[in-house]
Structure 1
Amino acid sequence: MKIIDKLNMDYEGLVKNGPITIVCFGDSVTHGFLVADEINYETVYWNRLRQKINEVRNYIPVNVIDAGIGGITAKASLERMESQVFSHKPDLIIICFGLNDVNGTLEEYLDSLGIIFDRCKECDIDAIFMTPNMLNTYVADDTEECHLDYAAVTAQFQNSGKMDTFMDAACKLAFEKGITVCDCYSKWKEISKTQDTTMLLANRINHPTKEMHKLFANSLFDTIFKNS
């Protein structure tokens, strides 16, 4: 049963088909990290999404499984894909990788995403590839001292266009594989024309602030309901 059909269930449909299950498969942003020692499961995008869905479908329980792990890549997540994602038989899988993958090669990133996308299609499970936020564009003065060197690296990834290349290629792959794309990265790029996006990162490197998780939640909500 497609996610949009479950979202439009009446009481009888709920009795027959049960609650909605969403698995969010990703890295530290999905995990809920803000800064190194702070994780917030209340303000993270998937919880905001769950709340938004229940604002319009309050009689349908929405269960979200957080399969995000800080510091991980799409390639490193392949070995946990079956046990942590597909074993739950979700109605929707939200996939968000790229922030750590940009440390490696584009080929490795795309190959890994391709395996994940293909598995979603094989299992006939609705999936959304959500592009992540931008990286920092400079080393901010208030960056934690232990992260200064890495902040310089990520700024180079962003300013050189490497992150743009990764996101463009990932979106192209998703379209080719028939996976829905929720392109939040392009929204960050648009914001960057008028705002300092580095200041919209809680750790000044790659973790969006609590407020910016709303952008993810709102974008996902619109993507899910666009055909309702």
Structure 2
Amino acid sequence: MRKLFALFLLNLLVPASAYSQVAGAGKYLDSIRHELTIQWPKNRMINLVFHGHSVPAGYGDRHEVNTLQSYPNLMLKSLKEKYPYAVINVIVTAIGGENSIKGQTRFDTDVLVHKPDVLLIDYALNDRFSNLAKVKEAWEKMIKAALDKKIKVILLTPSPDQRIEINDPANPLEPYIAMIKSLAAQYKTGLADPNVKFKEVAAQGQLKEVMASVNHPNEAGHMLIVKELLPYF
């Protein structure tokens, strides 16, 4: 009930119209997209840092780590097809089992040290086990620290856990999804919403087809996330 009340408050404080303030995919990374087209010797490294839990880390079934089938590296493959002259570094600072509260404590040493051009944050799936206010504080600290250094930020809504009925409006992820959207609107960051795509798949009774385990996507599931990120690039 507390989480549902928190969701109500978030929706009350941040009306749906406010989500239009989220940085649009069309222009948010204009400068990055331009740099990705520059050829040697005038090009430079572009660092994409993926911070989060086991999903961006590539965990699959039985703790196997499928790095090359995870969405950060599938993103790299797609981007290299589009930008053949670009030097793109995909840097994954994700740790399996971690939430944003812990991730924020190592943000300076593990994330900012890589000098991201674009930072992508994906923690909500694990955050649902922690206090919403503390989670929001952690996300906000990371967002502010990145924006202070002129880093472009894209926030991600969560992929599924099959133990949760994700199409139930009362499911425990919803307050955290609302929080992510409210922060994206407040700070005018990018927002990728793969959760809505997973809900569409679940509504068709096909969620198992995009999952490698109870709470980790397979390559097809990771591609759903990629498709939500690619419009920014």
TM > 0.5 between the two?
yes
Tell me the distance in 1 between the aligned counterparts of 2:42 and 2:185: 31
Pick from 202, 205, 214: which aligns with 2:223? 214
For 1:169-188, list aligned pairs within 5 A.
169-188=179-198
- For the residue of structure 2 that corresponds to 1:94, the secondary structure is strand
User: 1:98, 1:189 → 2: CA distance?
Assistant: 15
Amino acid at match of 1:3: I
Which residue number in structure 1 is paired with residue 161 of structure 2? 135
Q: In structure 2, the residue corresponding to 1:42 is in which secondary structure? A: helix
Q: Structure 1 CA distance, aligned partners of 2:94 and 2:143?
A: 17
Deviation for aligned residue 1:199: 5.0
For 2:6, the equivalent position in structure 1 comes to none
* Pair 1:119-2:145 in alignment: yes
Aligned equivalents of 1:68 and 1:24: distance in 2?
Answer: 7
TM-score after normalising by structure 1 = 0.82
Q: Alpha-carbon deviations, 1:20-72, whole Å to 9, x = none? A: 11110010001110023310111110111001111011111211111010000
In structure 2, the CA distance between the partners of 1:98 and 1:158, relative to structure 1 (3 Å rule), is farther
Superposed, which structure 2 residues align to 1:1-228 within 5 Å?
2-14=31-43, 18-137=44-163, 155=164, 159=168, 160-204=170-214, 206-222=215-231, 224-225=232-233
* Cα distance, 1:101–1:158 mapped onto 2, change above 3 Å: farther
List runs of 5+ in structure 1 lacking aligned partners: 138-154
Cα shift at 1:158: 7.5
CA distance in 2, matches of 1:190, 1:176: 27
What is the SS of the residue equivalent to 1:103? Answer: coil
Deviating beyond 6 angstroms after TM superposition, the runs of 4 or more aligned structure 1 residues are none
SS at the partner of 1:192?
helix
Q: Contact 2:160–2:216 at 8 Å: present in 1 too? A: no
RMSD: 1.9
Q: Which moved more, 1:185-194 or 1:22-31?
A: 185-194
Aligned pairs, how many? 203
Following superposition, the deviation at residue 191 of structure 1 comes to 1.9
Q: Are the aligned partners of 1:134 and 1:158 in contact in 2 as well (CA < 8 Å)?
A: no
Q: Percent identity?
A: 24
Shift of 1:216: 1.2
Structure 2: stretches of 5+ with no match in the other structure? 1-29
Q: CA deviation at 1:4?
A: 2.3
Native 8 Å contact 2:201 2:207 kept in 1:
yes
Q: Is residue 36–residue 83 contact of structure 2 (8 Å, CA) maintained in 1?
A: yes
